[in-house]
Every structure is written in structure tokens, then in C-alpha cells.
Amino acid sequence: MTGGAGFIGSNFLHYWSKRYPDDALLNIDALTYAGNRENFSDLLNRPNFHFFKLNINDSQKLDSLMTDIDLVIHFAAETHVDRSIGNPDSFLQTNILGTHNLLKLALKHGVRRFHHISTDEVFGSLTLNDNDKFHENTPYSPRSPYSASKAASDHLVRAYGETYGLPYSITNCSNNYGEYHFPEKLFPLAITNLLENKKVPIYGNGQQVRDWLYVQDHCRAIELVCLLAADSANYLVGGLTEDITNLEAIKLIFKLMHKDESLIEFVKDRPGHDQKYSVDWKKINQDLDWKPSVDLEEGLTKTIKWYEDHQTWWQPLKQKNQAYFQKQYRT
């Protein structure tokens, strides 16, 4: 596994280790600002769990670790759109060149399956009055440095499958939320700000539409694809059946936390802000019998409870990144 110190990766580490306790797990992570050893500290004493602080562009060290690996699950990525606008270089280095490096080594060592975690953002933006949804055959049309770098990595994975016969699968997920989510993203930022009685910044008028996927449901989808899907399979994974605006989602958090909406603060919109993502996850439901186990309200309730119970986890992260938050949201 790559990126197991991040949000989705660490959740998947816990998920897989509980489901398959006898499997040997090798976690590679560079521990960038969003990577945290605390996310998997409870696994470090397990004899079949191994962690290496390592950049996925380090070919020599990765080569020695890839021996006898039968499944690669590739989470490692720079993911925050805002940061990609300010510093796109690191996104290209990690998301494109890093993925290419892993693919070369996976091919060399004959891994059984290379599973690539991607995003619905590679498809670009729907219009707000559009009833269409993204699906597996939607043309790629990325609009930010982040989504462009993920689109490139998707194409590389497919190219290695078509050209060299590397067994692979790809999942394009919608916006995840849940435990261990770094507090620069919308939901954890809102929840932690409200726990601190601070204002919650909303870009523009808050009418952007997103699909929201509870991270544990995403973990289950990845498991099914890795174990049951055919080679070269591609699935979209979403969490909702009806559209919801960012403002409506934030107001639901306010309601669940019993907070006054006067703490909502509209701030200058992000450059090139995609207006709408909507995901059709019919294919994974039909092929692998997957569907979300929780609706948004239940998933947010679980998430809020986790942040209430783990303030010693997120408070140091927010304190360390205060300068970024103040610069980004002017608040």
C-alpha cells in the first residue's frame, strides 16, 4: 500500500487488517504535511505490518521492497485542489511520475493486481442545471492541476495494462469524508471550527454540488474490486443518490452539532471552481453488489462523534497549519 498515512489510506489499513488479520501489509508513505504516523500507530506492533517512510519516486528503495508483493493498492497522492493551484509542481511529481515509477516496478516484479485510487474530478464539471451524472465512459476533462495530474495517472495505469499486460483496476471515487480526514478539507474544517466556536468559510455562494462518500463505504468498495473484479476493471464509487449543495451539506453539519448558522462565512471563490460533481455508481452495484451502507446524515453523525472524541489528533494539525488557513480563507 502507498499513502497509508493519509486519510483514505489509513482507514483502509485498519479496514483490511481487521478483515484479513493474517495478511502481511507493507505501508509506504512519505509523511508529507497530510501524512500522520498517528493514523496507524496501533498497527505498528503487529508482526505482519511494516511501515517505510519513503517517497514513491525513490526507485532504488522501492525496487527492493516490491519483491514478493502480490497486490499493490496505490493511494499516495497530492489531493488538495487549493494547494495544487498554488503549487502544482508537487502534484505532477507525485501523482504522475510517482505513479509511473510504481507501475514500472509492479510490472518488473509481476504483481497480481495494481489497483489505482482515482477521483471523479478527472471528468471535469457538470453544470448546475444538468441532470447528467459521471459514469465509467464519461470523457476526461480535468480543470485543475490536481485533477489533470490524476487524469494523467489514470491514463498511465491503463497504458501499462494495454501495452505491457499489467493486471490493473481503477476506482474513481467522489468526495470522501470520515475519520482521520485532514482538517483542510470542507467537512473536517467545518466540524473542527464549530468545535472551537469559529466561523466556517464557504467558497462563493456555496451552491457547488458534490457527491459525498463515507470513507468506510469506500474501503469496502476497494476490497470488492481488488478481490472480485476482472482485470482492467474501472468503477465509479459514490455515496449519494440525490444532489446536495455544499451549503446544504454544511447546514446539515450545523444542525447535527446544534450550532447557529450565523457562524457561516462566505469567502472569495476558488479560481476555476468546478460547479458540480454527480456520480452514477450503478455499475459497481450491479457487478459487485456494492452500495453505501449509510446516508449522509448518518455518516456525518459518525464523523462528528469521531472528531469530538479525538481533539488531541486534529488540534495540533490545525495549529501547525494556521498560516495556510488564514492565507487561504482570509479569515
* Long-range contacts, 131-140 (Cβ 8 Å, 24+): 132/278, 133/278, 133/279, 133/280, 134/172, 134/236, 134/277, 134/278, 134/279, 134/280, 135/236, 135/280, 135/282, 135/283, 136/234, 136/235, 136/236, 136/283
Say whether 223 is catalytic. Answer: no
The SS3 of residue 319 is helix
- Angle of CA points 276, 282, 288, to nearest 5°: 135
Marked catalytic residue, from 20, 42, 58, 120: 120
β-bridge mates for residue 119, sequence order: 173
Say whether 140 is catalytic. Answer: no
Marked catalytic residue, from 29, 78, 121, 223: 121
Marked catalytic residue, from 78, 146, 203, 214: 146
- b (16+ CB within 10 A) / e for 295-318: ebeebbbbbbebbeeeeebbeebb
Say whether 78 is catalytic. Answer: no
Task: Determine the Cα–Cα distance for residues 9 and 227; give it in Å rounded to an integer.
Answer: 17
Q: Which of 209, 226, 92, 210 is nearest to 151 (CA)?
A: 92
Task: Determine the Cα–Cα distance for residues 8 and 245; give it in Å rounded to an integer.
Answer: 23
Positions marked catalytic: 120-121, 146
